[in-house]
Amino acid sequence: MDNIEWKCNKCDKPLKPRSTVFEYMGRSFSHEVLVCPGCGKVFIPQSLAEGRMAEVEEALEDK
Amino acid sequence: MQIEEFTDFTDACFNGESASCSCACPFKLDVRSFTEKCQKGRWSSAWKNYRNAVIFPEIVSALCPAPCREHCQRASLGGAVDIPALERAAIEYSGAKKAEHYNIPPKEHSVAVVGAGPAGLSAALNLAQKRYKVTVFDKAPGWGGSLRSHADFARFDEDIALQFAAVEAEFRFNTEISSPSQLSSYDAVYIATGEGGIDFEGEKFFRGGQLTGMSLMEGIAVGAEVSKLVETYLMTGRAGPVENVSYAFCDRTVEHEDTLPEAEIEVRDEESARAEAARCMKCDCDSCMRSCEVLAHFRKKPRSMAREAFSDSQANPPIATQSLVRETYSCTNCGHCRSVCPEKVDVGAMLMLSRANRFEKGTAPAAFHDYWLREMDFSCGEASAFLPPPGSDACKYAFFPGCRLGMDNVGHLKKAYDCLTRSCDGGVGLMLGCCGAPALWAGDMSRLENNFSAIREAWERMGSPTLVFACATCSNMFEEYLPEIKRISLYELMEKASLPRSSSSYPAAVVFDPCSAREDDAMRRSVRALAAQAGSKLKEAEHGCRCCGYGGHIQVPNPSLFEKISSSRAEENAEPYIVYCANCREVFLSRGKECSHILDLYFGPGEDTPTLQKKRENALRLKKELLKEIWNMDFTPESRPWDGVELIIPPEIQASMEKSLISADDIRETLWRAEQSGDKLTGGGYSLASLRKNAATYWVQYSGEGGVYQVAAAYSHRMKWRE
């Protein structure tokens, strides 16, 4: 999945890295992820969801 | 919330409090700490420990009758620890002994002590250490009182001199006090004139020692208390009388699991003293922390957990942080802590209160219980049915099988109901629903109450029948929240029905009782009778009624602890398990443990654990078939636009979805919405769709078209991005 060059189906544009605001447990922070430059559709790869993202989720739940 | 709402649960916990020997000691010597120092050969430190407790080490070590030995919990395990010998060793092997010196400013008040016996001297020393102007009167020519005639008085004399070496105190010997007027210049007076000695009345007079019936040791022991009372009187003008030593809790013992007896060692030298000190078991109650995986995992003590739970209830995230989140949601609420606690402290109940408080405040992580609450809503909604027997409005019995059993095995549940209808007079109604345990474990008390209100209403409409339970958790929940309803277990009624057994019984097996059956003797007994009737030679589990790991729904908040608990339960006994909880069965099968539900022994071999999706389908099929076959009613499950989407899910992805509690229906909806709207990513011949639903965002990578899709990845996360 990480090696696939994803593009937005609606805008037909390749994704570009962009700083995106994430929210969880009443806290928010920015992280750079691949996003459609046209409509802003975000791509979260499985490795990120089950890796770093899960760690941050756990840390925020514990606060 | 008030702190007491949490600490009331744990107030009776005595972890960290004095051991029985210390409670029996007039001086409350911290024996655990003392023997620890002796054991390590830290003799000076041990002596200081001892001296600070007993004031006059030589006197006390020689004359104390050592009630500690009578209350030593080693007594039945090889013989009581020889504390007096260790006291003597501490005196002998410690280096140079120095008197206690406190560098504090002198005080203006003057205090008289009448009587230079051990009790008077102890009070005088304590007062002098606080820098009061102390004058000790005695009619004798020196100190010691009744000890002056003792054979070892010379040694005692040296000890007294040593302890008074670093303080200022005036001694007036050969001075008899016969009138209070002689003491008019003193701000306070302590009278310790011994048995039958002179005494005076008045606010500033305090009395103790053998004059008030204390023993010699007690007289010395209360010295510190006397100094506090006198100080209170001098500061406030009032203070209560000197109370004698309390021996509360000296009979309180703790569990010494797997502790071998060790014979007493005669203390002859330093080495043997250290060995004898090592025999001290440092008795402290840690029954719950030792045997509960959750408490052991977090290394938290019950009382500190209650304080932290309270402090979390006051925290206001994100401004203030909480400290006990993971612990709170890792408890299986199995009641084991309470069952092993000599004081019946229920840490689990305290943590459930904390969960309820967090849910109400909105600080509970929604993702922890979101899946289970949706399951509960499904079981109490679409899959639910409350019906009296066909052709009647009321019944004597109604079957409440609980939500999980039918999800696992439709056929067995139908056979169980059939067995009940044939063996029970007065008709058997049916109550398909959920007892609300998922709401309790999530802390969602209003969902719980609403569910029970609906159940009560239906139960009353059915003529208030006795409910027949197949699940011990359901039965427990009803006992707690609808105690007016009479309960009986399916297994008790099956036992009486003398059913033919199936051929799938084990020759030898362990009946694994669910934690929720701990208090349900009748259910435990009936299951054993059924298992034995089915031909199994039964062995009792190593540890009874332990949670398989499913309780409390800890799988999402603490997956590794869930794995640890469930694996350890599966491995505890070599024999196959006979269970009577659908959740236990699912957990053990997932660990590769040979395991059967008790119904499998009568109704045929059980099926493999269904997927999350299949469970829902089974629940609806059960309702549909029972309604048609028994009541001749039609039931059509609700349809959803994505029902026609056909998924091909490889086994490894299916397993990962099950672990992450992602159902095929969630994936189907995600995919269908993306296909409808075109809102998806594409690349490498795949599509990638996402959907935010409740507390999670679901992702599915797939290929295919025309309603049939091959799933290449399915995952979720809890965090969301700002649109």
Q: What is the pLDDT of residues B568-615, one digit of tens each?
A: 999 999 999 999 999 999 999 999 999 999 999 999 888 889 999 999
Give yes or no for A54 touching B (CB within 8 A): yes
Identify the pLDDT of residue B258: 80
* Pick from A20, A36, A61: CB nearest B365: A61
Interchain CB distance below 8 Å, A62 and B716: no
Q: What is the pLDDT of residue B119?
A: 97
Q: pLDDT band at residue B505, thresholds of 50, 70 and 90? A: confident
A57 and B690 in contact by Cβ < 8 A?
no
Q: Please give the pLDDT value at position B328.
A: 97
B chain contacts of residue A46, beta-carbon cutoff 8 Å: 699, 701, 713, 715
> pLDDT by residue (tens digit) across B141-189?
999 999 999 999 999 999 999 999 999 999 999 999 999 999 999 999 9
The verdict on ipTM greater than 0.95 is yes
Q: Which residues of B touch A25 (CB under 8 A)?
A: 317-318, 365
User: A34 CB near a chain B CB, below 8 Å?
Assistant: no
Check pLDDT > 90 for residue A3. Answer: no
pLDDT band for position B542 (50/70/90)? confident
Task: Verify whether the Cβ–Cβ distance A23 to B687 is below 8 Å.
Answer: no
| Closest CA–CA distance from residue B369 to any residue of chain A (Å) | 13
pLDDT at residue A1 tops 80: no
Residues with Cβ within 8 Å of B314's Cβ and at least 6 positions away in sequence, in order, are B1, B320
Note whether A44 contacts B: Cβ–Cβ < 8 A: yes
- What average pLDDT score do residues B491-518 get? 88
Query: In chain A, what is the straight-line distance between the N-terminal and C-terminal CA atoms, in Å?
Result: 32
Write out chain A residues lying below 8 Å of B686, CB-based.
4
Q: Which of B367, B359, B358 is nearest to A49 (CA)?
A: B367
Assess A29–B contact: CB distance below 8 Å, yes or no: no
Q: Residue B720: which of B675, B690, B680 has the closest Cα?
A: B690
Contacts of B318 in chain A (CB under 8 A): 25-27, 63
pLDDT tens digits along B403-437: 999 999 999 999 999 999 999 988 899 999 999 99
| Edge-first strand listing for the sheet containing B428-432 | B385-387, B428-432, B397-400, B466-469, B487-489
Whether residues B681 and A8 touch (CB distance < 8 A) is answered with yes
pLDDT at B421: 94
Average pLDDT, whole number, for chain B?
95
> What would the DSSP string read from start to end of B630-662?
HH---------GGGG-EEE--HHHHHHHHHTT-
Q: Chain B contact for A16, CB < 8 A?
A: no
Q: Where are the beta strands (DSSP E) in B352-504?
A: 385-387, 397-400, 428-432, 466-469, 487-489
Query: Which backbone phi and psi does A37 adopt, to 5 degrees?
Result: -65, -15
Q: How many CB pairs under 8 A join A and B?
A: 93
Q: Which residue ranges make up each domain of chain B?
A: 3-11+286-364, 20-97+254-278, 110-236, 368-614, 641-717
pLDDT grade, residue B206 (50/70/90)?
very high
CA distance B610 to chain A (A): 25
- Considering only CA atoms, which of B335, B434, B439, B431 is closest in space to residue B387? B431
Q: CA B69, CA B21: separation in Å to the nearest integer? A: 7
- Amino acid B319: pLDDT: 86
Q: Coil, strand, or helix at residue B356?
A: helix
CA-based nearest residue in chain B for residue A26: B318
Average pLDDT over residues B276-287: 96
Task: Answer yes or no: is pLDDT of B642 > 90.
Answer: yes
Confidence of residue B503 (pLDDT cuts 50, 70, 90): low
CATH code of the region B110-236 = 3.40.50.720
Shortest Cα distance from A24 to chain B (angstroms)? 5
pLDDT category at B628 given cuts 50, 70, 90 is: very high
Residues of A in Cβ contact (< 8 Å) with B688: 1, 6, 43
Q: Is the pLDDT of residue B561 over 90?
A: yes
- A62 near B CB under 8 A: yes
Q: Please name the residue of chain A whose CA is at the shortest distance from the CA of residue B320.
A: A63
Q: What's the sign of the alpha-carbon dihedral B299, B305, B311, B317?
A: positive
Q: What percent of chain B has pLDDT over 90?
A: 92
Domain B641-717 fold is YaeB-like fold (3.30.2310)
CA distance A17 to chain B (A): 14
Which residues fall within 8 angstroms of residue B622, CB to CB, at 6 or more apart?
B383, B406, B410, B413, B414, B432
Closest residue on chain B to A54 (Cα): B717
CB proximity A11 to B under 8 Å: no
Q: Is residue A57 less than 8 Å (CB to CB) from chain B? A: yes
Supply angle C-alpha B652, B656, B661, rounded to 5.
145
